Every structure is written in C-alpha cells, then in structure tokens.
Structure 1
Amino acid sequence: MLLAVNEGKVIGQLGLIPVRLKYDKEIFEAQWACDLLVDPGLRKKGIGNLLFEDGMKRNMITLGNNPSPKAKSLMLAKGFKHIKSAARMTFPLDPSDLLNWVLPSKLKFLSEISGKILKPYFNIKRKKYNAEKSEFKYCDAGEIAPIISKYQSERKQAEILHDNEFLEWRVNGLENFSHRLETMKAREDSYAVHSHFLPYYNVYDWNCSDEKIFIEMLSEIFNEAVKSGAKTIQIMANNPFEEKLLKDAGFLRPRNTETVIQYSPGKSIDSAEYFHFTYYDTDNNL
C-alpha cells in the first residue's frame, strides 16, 4: 500500500498486490494496482499521478482490473495497454437483485415485479443441473495444485502463476473479513475453487474436462450458493467452450469482458494477445 501524506494526514492511497505473472514459459514479478483513492477536496492536483509514478518505479509489470473511468484514464496516459480477457458470467438466483443494477433509477420499481416473473425460469434452469452422483470431492488446495500447474504449463497466454504459495495465500482467506475458499477436484483433470462473498457466490477458478463433469461441478455450486443465501453466482469464462457451457446453463454475459490493462517496463508482455483471468487473481475477495 502506497500512501500520500501531507502534514501528517493521509490524503491518498494506492494498493499494490504482489504476484508472479507467467507468459509463455517465462515468469515475471508483477503487481496489481487497486483501490486508488484521493481526498475529495484535493483531487485534480496530481496526487493520483504521483502515487502511480511511485508504484511504477518498482521496475516490474503493473496490472489493473476494471479500473474506474478516472483511474483508467490516468493509467492509459501512463503507458498502460489493454489485453483481451475473460467474460464474467452471472446466474441470478434472485433476478430482482440483478435488475437493480441494470435498470435506470426511475425504473427500479420494476425490479421486484420483473424478478418474480423471471425467477421460475432460472429455477428450472438450475434444477436441470442437479446431479445425483458426482465425482467431485472436497480436498486441500495442495491437491489441486498439480492440476492447475499442468494446465498453466500448456497455455501460452499471460496469466497469474497459481503455484502452491499463491493457493495457500488466496484460499485460506483473511480472519474476520473473508471466508476460506472451498477447493474440490474430480479425476485428475478437473477442479473448482469457490465460496460465498455475499451477496455473491463466486467460482474463483475452475476447469472441467467434459460436459458431464461440468454438470456435476455446477450442481454442487448451485447447492452451496442457495445454502449460503447468495443472490448471484459469478464465474469467469476464458474460452468459447466454457462460455457455451455456462450460457446453456442459464448464465448471462454482460456486454463487456473483464478489463485488464498492463504496463511492462521492458515490454515483456506487450505481445500477449490474451490474459487468462480468474476471479482470485486480484483483490476480489480481499
């Protein structure tokens, strides 16, 4: 965390989360930039600019995910570049909650009525994915690490390295703030990392080798999401196969993909055409 301080008072901050980034067969030190905040009374005075300049002096790749319009403008001006990335897919267990985000303020009164009309449709979709038997078993994060490592070694896309150290840090959660994430696997080629972060139920990372295994995974996710009281399930699709599976199950895709922007001092990943993004790469459950 970088702080801008004036006369003993904090007037701005920039969060920087350390990670290791894999691109092709190389590993790079990197950091996610997040939570840029400046005292409202001191904005437009270059404080955010100074925070970014200081963060970028670390001579490592800096990443941003879904920055606010102001932060995005500042980052692009500093030389950040877009990378195509995943599609965030959502399943509304409570459609009225989703409609609250979509409808303009003057039409929000329709969200509850419309939600009640739409809910039976999504309930029918959900019940179609009720597997009587499942090969998925809950396990420690260390048991899914070899599966993740295998898939990452095969991909040539830019992505955060999910090794044992990363998994132990991100799966264990933070005391009195975020829950421990659940990890489960099927066979030796399919896994899922998931948990509630109310009002959402997030699937942080997943891979299913075929449609049968996907149905079994989704059955467990639906059951756990309903038990948790979540209103919306969120999951990433990183390729057309995953997106089709999710759409067939009733998941909705927003108009935009995840926004990932990067700055690499030595242009080390400027040639990357895609960023394989998972839900716990950045600060989504921190």
Structure 2
Amino acid sequence: MRFAKKYWTKRRRFTPEYIYWKFRGQDQATLESFLLAEKEGEVIGQFGIIPCHLKVDEKIYDAQWACDLMVDKTARGQGVAYELYEFAHKKASVTLGSDPSPAASKSMLKNGYVLVPGPRKFIFPVKIGEAFKLKKVNSSLLNYCYNPFLFLIRCFPKSGFQKISSKEYLSLIKRDSNEFMYCAYNKAFLNWRFSSFKSYYSGIDCYKKNADNFFSGYMNGQVYYITDFNCSNVRFFFEIIHFIYSKHKASPILRVKFFSNNSKLSGILPFLGFVRFRTLTQIVLYTTNEAILRAVKTKKFYYTLLDSDENI
C-alpha cells in the first residue's frame, strides 16, 4: 500500500480487490500475476502480467501483457527490473507490452525485448477543442465548437446496429494470420474483459450490423473507447461513429478513441475530421521461441483496446 501510494495517483491502485481482478486472479488462489520485489521487508518494485493467448501462424501460445512496471527511486540501477523480468518470463512463452513509457521501453529493450509494429491510434473529436487538448492547449471557444465533419457523419444511417453477446461477437472477429500476429480470446477472457467489475469498470458492449460490420466499446467519463471493430468500407465506419454519438449524445460525449489496423482506413480518416497520432503504436515482445522470433521479422501486431489495460 505504501509503495502504491508513493507512485500511483488513481485510488483503485490501492485496493487489493481491484488488483486481484485486473491481473485475473483465480478464486481462492494466490495472485501469481502481480509481482513484488522486496528488500528488508519493504516493497521496492512491482511488475504486473495479465494472462492472455497469442496466435502466430495458426499456432496459439500462452502469453501475458506486461504493465505497471515500477522500481523505487532508491533502488534503480541495482538490477531490480531485471529480476522482475526474469521471474515473469518463466510464467509464459511470450511476454508483451504496449506503448511503454520511454524509461520502461529502454529497460525492456535492454533486457531482450524486440519491437513489433502496431496500428495507428486515432481520436474523433466531437468538439474541436478535444484535438487541441492533445497539444496541451485548452481553449473555451474551441471546446464549444463542434467538429464540422460531425455534420457529414450524421448524414449516414445510425440505425441497424443491434446489441449482441460477447460470445456471438467472438465468432465474428476476423484476423489475417499471414499479415498479423494477434491475441486469441477464449471464454475465460471474455468473462473477465467484457463484464463489469463493481464501480471500477463498466464492461464492454458489443454491436453488430452484419457479419462484416460490427464493433465493441464502452463509455468512460466523456470518452467512448472503441475496443475493437470491423467495417467493410469507410461508409460503415461512419455509421459506427454516428451510432456511438447518437447513443451517448446526452452524456455528453467529447471524443471517440480507437486503434485502426486497417491501413486503407488509416490513410483516409485524417482527411475526414479524425486525428491520427504521429507514430505507430509500439508493441514490445519477449520470447525465446525461435518460430515467434522469425515471425516478428515479417508480421505486424493486430492490437486493439481489447488487449490494452488502458482505463482498467
């Protein structure tokens, strides 16, 4: 508790039941996926590893997402992070990380991780000011003005999407295993990731128009997170945005955030009122498996907010 309060600001990080849930602890079992380093009875470091599965060339491997790495300032440069990595790597065939901080990225690459290119991150700012906030500019006038492309989006149908179960949603998900490596989801993952957890997490809703056009997501504060989606063309993606905006208009919704693994869509959206982040999402990967290391050289990572621990 003392270590958490020293380095984290969100109160949920001080709550054992939240930590147990986030790192997918099993009922009545020791939490094996939240690692602590101690010295003389005091916590001097932590490392979280969220269990998952990775699919590479039609084969599924046990894997884990690394997150929340932190070493006490007094213990840095003493090999604490290395010891946490070494202990964690024994627990799964593959350890993954997404957009680590500059310090964490440097540490991970130094300790045997490799880079895999990920997707583009986007936001659709409902109010123009939301785009400028990314540059640390907060203007009351711009915060009042609607994105002019919202009026274009509202020309597309908002109806046709029906809420579906996470099980049905799983059956719709499509990935290209020749181009990508990606996370494979099972029932246990669905029960954890899609269901709400007390006041900490609202859970994920799934929607479908047809077999080629569907999405999942949730509202957090005044931001809607599209955790995953598939659309057959730009028109249907506009329908997704219109549906989300209409459903949450009274909230009010200020921005929609998502990752795009579709290179064609990623090239078009910046001309239609969407803000594309400058750099690709950085995925870091550690493994000693030679087949996966070979695949890393030719494949990209199909990464979505379903895989991320963002806002959970």
Report the TM range for the smaller structure's normalisation: 0.7 to 0.9
Distance 1:136 1:195 in 2: 15
Following superposition, the deviation at residue 170 of structure 1 comes to 1.1
Conserved in 2, the CA contact under 8 Å of 1:184 and 1:193? yes
Distance 1:221 1:177 in 2: 22
What SS does structure 2 have at the residue aligned with 1:223? helix
- The change in CA–CA distance for 1:245 and 1:97 in structure 2 (over 3 A counts) is closer
Which residue does 2:152 correspond to in 1? 128
Which residue does 2:102 correspond to in 1? 69
Distance 1:86 1:222 in 2: 24
- Match status 1:280 vs 2:306: yes
- Match status 1:82 vs 2:120: no
Q: 1:215 aligns with which of 222, 231, 238?
A: 238
Which residue does 1:101 correspond to in 2? 134
Which residue does 1:145 correspond to in 2? 170
Greater shift in the superposed pair: 235-244 or 40-49: 40-49
The letter for the 2-side match of 1:285 is N
Following superposition, the deviation at residue 44 of structure 1 comes to 2.5
- Match status 1:233 vs 2:256: yes
Which residue does 2:283 correspond to in 1? 260
What SS does structure 1 have at the residue aligned with 2:77? coil
The list of structure 1 runs, each at least 4 consecutive aligned residues, that deviate by more than 4 angstroms after superposition, is 153-156
Conserved in 1, the CA contact under 8 Å of 2:222 and 2:251? no
Bigger RCO of structures 1 and 2 (CA < 8 A, at least 6 apart): 1
Which residue does 2:38 correspond to in 1? 5
Which residue does 2:229 correspond to in 1? 206
Distance 2:187 2:214 in 1: 15
What SS does structure 1 have at the residue aligned with 2:291? coil
**Length-normalised TM-score, structure 2:** 0.81
RMSD: 2.2
Distance 2:268 2:163 in 1: 22
Following superposition, the deviation at residue 186 of structure 1 comes to 1.1
> What's the CA shift string for 1:191-242, capped at 9, x where partnerless?
1001112342110000012344323212112224533334321111112222
Conserved in 1, the CA contact under 8 Å of 2:123 and 2:276? yes
Which residue does 2:5 correspond to in 1? none
Distance 2:158 2:75 in 1: 59
Point out where structure 2 has 5 or more consecutive residues left out of the alignment.
1-33
Following superposition, the deviation at residue 147 of structure 1 comes to 0.9
Conserved in 2, the CA contact under 8 Å of 1:86 and 1:258? yes
Conserved in 2, the CA contact under 8 Å of 1:186 and 1:213? no
- Match status 1:193 vs 2:216: yes
Following superposition, the deviation at residue 76 of structure 1 comes to 0.4
Point out where structure 1 has 5 or more consecutive residues left out of the alignment.
none
The letter for the 1-side match of 2:202 is H
What SS does structure 2 have at the residue aligned with 1:167? helix
Distance 1:240 1:68 in 2: 25
Conserved in 1, the CA contact under 8 Å of 2:124 and 2:256? yes
Following superposition, the deviation at residue 140 of structure 1 comes to 1.2
- The change in CA–CA distance for 1:175 and 1:60 in structure 2 (over 3 A counts) is same
Distance 1:18 1:225 in 2: 32
Conserved in 2, the CA contact under 8 Å of 1:17 and 1:282? no
